[in-house]
Each structure stands twice: as structure tokens, then as C-alpha cells.
Amino acid sequence: MEIKGSAVKATPDFVKDRFNNRYSEWVKSLPEKSKNIIENPIYATTWYSLMDSVIIPTQKVADLFFEGNYVKAANEIGRYSADVALKGIYKIFVRVSSPHFVLSRASSIFATYYQPADIQVIDSAEKKAVLQFSKFHPNEKLIMNRIAGWIEKTLEITLKSALKVDVENHIEGSNLTSKITVFWN
């Protein structure tokens, strides 16, 4: 799986913002492929290996700053990414939109950030939505927690707090299909 550079930037930006005094320690902890991506300019429209650019760096964030809790680290980076992305005019737009509209747009946006992913809203009720993500590899499942954090923060910005964001992963061989179910009040 590949991910657009604009999404890759969220992880180093998160570390710089939240753990700036340990940023170089984090970079040094990365394997060579990941370190090369982080230390060089990250171009918004360039495609990067999801594993090397996001999954492994997120795992290192968890190891250094979240006592090895990968899910918590991914969720926090996702929340940070939404907060940064949805500033200014976008924040106003998200606030006046319904959660259904925002989540339907989010599924379209996510599809432009991951290739060759298949992302769609498969269920939408009054205070619930289910997004399905397929064509991912099982070793990439941590990205689902980052996406869940992004969704959770986005709903908070719409002034509808998420009561629950549930990630359900199904692995068959080398295929990962995930469902993110969101409930709000």
C-alpha cells in the first residue's frame, strides 16, 4: 500500500509539536528506509510506502512516547492530523456540516490518500456510520487506528462528540479488510 506525502507529514509534525526535545531521538530510532523518508523533503503529491513512511514511524512514536501502546500513538497522530488539516475555512465548513456528510466526504478523501485502497461508507443511520477499508495488508492495520483518531477528532469539530469509534479488522491470507464504526450523539 502507498500513501500520499501530505498524510506522511503528520507523523514528524506530531513529534515536532508534542515531543520536540526528543525529535532527533525519534528520527535516530527509525530504520534506514523510514529515516530517509523523514529526513528528506516529503512532497505532498508523492506516493510513499505506507509501511516505511507511516506504520514504522508510528510504532517508534509508541515505543518512545506511549509506553509501547501502538493503538494510542496511532489514534493521537490521527487526531492531531485532523486538527491540523481542518483549520480555518475547513473548520467552519466541517462545523456546519452533518456528521453523515463529513464522513461520506472523508471516505472519498481517504481514497485519494491510499492506493490501491477501496474505501466506502457501507452503512449510514441517524447517529451511526460504518466505513469499510479494503485492499490493505495485515501488517498495515495500525493505519486503521490513525484513521479512527482522525474521524473521532473530526466529529468533535462538527460539535458531535463521538460516543464510540470501533475498529474491526478481518484478515484473510495477505488481505486486510477493516470496518470503522462510528456512533455519535
- Each as own residue / partner, the long-range contacts of residues 32-38 (CB below 8 Å, 24 or more positions apart, any chain) are 34/60, 37/8, 38/11, 38/12
Amino acid identity of 104?
Answer: S
Q: How far apart are CA 167 and CA 179, in angstroms?
A: 6
pLDDT of residue 89: 53
Q: Which CATH class is domain 93-184?
A: alpha beta
Q: Which residues pair with 130 in a beta bridge?
A: 123, 181
pLDDT of residue 23: 98
Report yes or no: 39 and 27 within 8 Å, Cβ to Cβ: yes
User: In the numeric block, which cell numbers belong to residue 62?
Assistant: 509508541
Place of cell 498495515: 140
Q: Which residues pair with 129 in a beta bridge?
A: 124, 182
pLDDT of residue 159: 67
pLDDT of residue 184: 86
User: In the numeric block, which cell numbers belong to residue 37?
Assistant: 523518508
Return the SS3 of 103. Answer: helix
pLDDT of residue 4: 95
Domain boundaries, the chain: 2-82, 93-184
pLDDT of residue 104: 72
User: In the numeric block, which cell numbers belong to residue 59?
Assistant: 510504532
Query: Would you write out the chain's pLDDT as a tens digit for each of its 185 residues?
Result: 999 999 999 999 999 999 999 999 999 999 999 999 999 999 999 999 999 999 999 999 999 999 999 999 999 999 999 988 877 656 555 655 667 677 777 777 788 889 998 888 899 888 898 999 999 999 999 999 999 999 999 888 876 776 789 999 999 999 999 999 998 88
Residue 152: HSE in the Cβ half-sphere, 13 Å Cα cutoff? 20
* 178 secondary structure, DSSP code: E
pLDDT of residue 39: 97
